A = this chain, B = another copy of it.
């Protein structure tokens, strides 16, 4: 249940109540693809750095260790020892991006596992069943995410099919939530808006799925190659056509600047691999932009990555030490930067919520974006 706390322009601060606790929005979800955050970060670490929601990938967990294994072990929360909300994606995006050969039919998608090549079929019902086995807090609808290069005609037909699939997802989720041996009988379902960069298709689709009264609404198929200007335009055109009393989730986005802009256009939920992936590659996010800790100038720098930062890396270790760890290929260097980056994103969202409550979002955003221009890269 979404409750608006304050609105400043289109930027919203709210609370979203779930069976696993209330999420303060705007929120950034930490991506734990295979039920773990890459960079040796545990669920205990996630709590320590203020993470509210963990996101896991349905496709990855279906192929390994298997959603039935996780169900037998009591569901994803018990498996990874995390008692706050978990959002699972539908598996659709991974099916379309990771697997090689695939055939899309009205019933669903036939594809080969990226691990052992075995044939898998996934349709709306299968995706809901897997997510029900995982027992996440929020399940995502099974959709097609067409490539950025797709034609208008292809996208139109694809969006229509995604709408038909959404009806099947909703019906299947309702059925699964009523079964006796379902772990989370209150599993929520978020719809996904598609339409590429065609605002008219996006708007029409947004209207159709809004009528279905789902628990939340995601905007998919962005951050896959279009320009930032196109992304912001699509948000400006589409978000007003989604229900006001439901959270809006922009999938797979993005940089701190993307998030600041998207919040300004009404988005509440975010997820992105950037903080963990860039941390593993030696990059740190700071209020002054991105830092490359491999840079020679940090060799003798005994300051923390970001002065004043209260993350587990900055409160103890120096730039010089972290640089050395990265050069020596010590996993600890990656872990420290991933912890810093995830803390940075969580802290940014906290500042965003405070700015909205203060009704100072535009000015806050301007200053933040200005500060981030001072990158060392």
Contact = CB atoms under 8 A, between A and B. Distances in A.
Interface of A: 34-44, 60, 64-65, 69, 72-74, 78-81, 299-300, 302, 312, 316-318, 320-321, 323-325, 327-328, 330-336
Contacts of A78: 302
User: 7 tightest CB-CB pairs across the interface, nearest first?
Assistant: A40-B331, A40-B40, A40-B335, A34-B328, A36-B330, A65-B324, A36-B332
A325 B41 CA distance: 12
B34 A324 contact: yes
Contacts of A300: 69, 72-73
A330 B299 contact: no
A126 to B, nearest CB: 21
A326 to B, nearest CB: 11
A331 B38 contact: yes
A330 B331 CA distance: 12
A73 B320 contact: yes
Contacts of A73: 300, 302, 318, 320-321
A65 B327 contact: yes
A64 B329 CA distance: 11
Given A34-B330, A330-B38, A64 B335 contact: no
A334 B40 contact: yes
Contact of A332 (B42, B64, B65): B42
A39 B81 CA distance: 21
A302 B81 CA distance: 11
A26 to B, nearest CB: 27
B36 A328 contact: yes
A78 B318 CA distance: 9
Contacts of A325: 34-36
A65 B330 contact: no
A152 to B, nearest CB: 39
10 contacts: A40-B335, A41-B332, A42-B332, A44-B312, A65-B323, A73-B300, A73-B321, A79-B318, A81-B317, A331-B335
Contacts of A38: 330-331
A359 to B, nearest CB: 40
Interface centre among A38, A72, A324, A335 (most CB of B within 10 A): A324
B64 A324 contact: yes
A341 to B, nearest CB: 15
Contacts of A36: 325, 328, 330, 332-333
A80 B41 contact: no
A65 B302 CA distance: 14
A40 B42 CA distance: 12
A200 to B, nearest CB: 42
A375 B203 CA distance: 63
A19 B353 CA distance: 49
B74 A302 contact: yes
Contacts of A39: 40, 331
Contacts of A327: 64-65
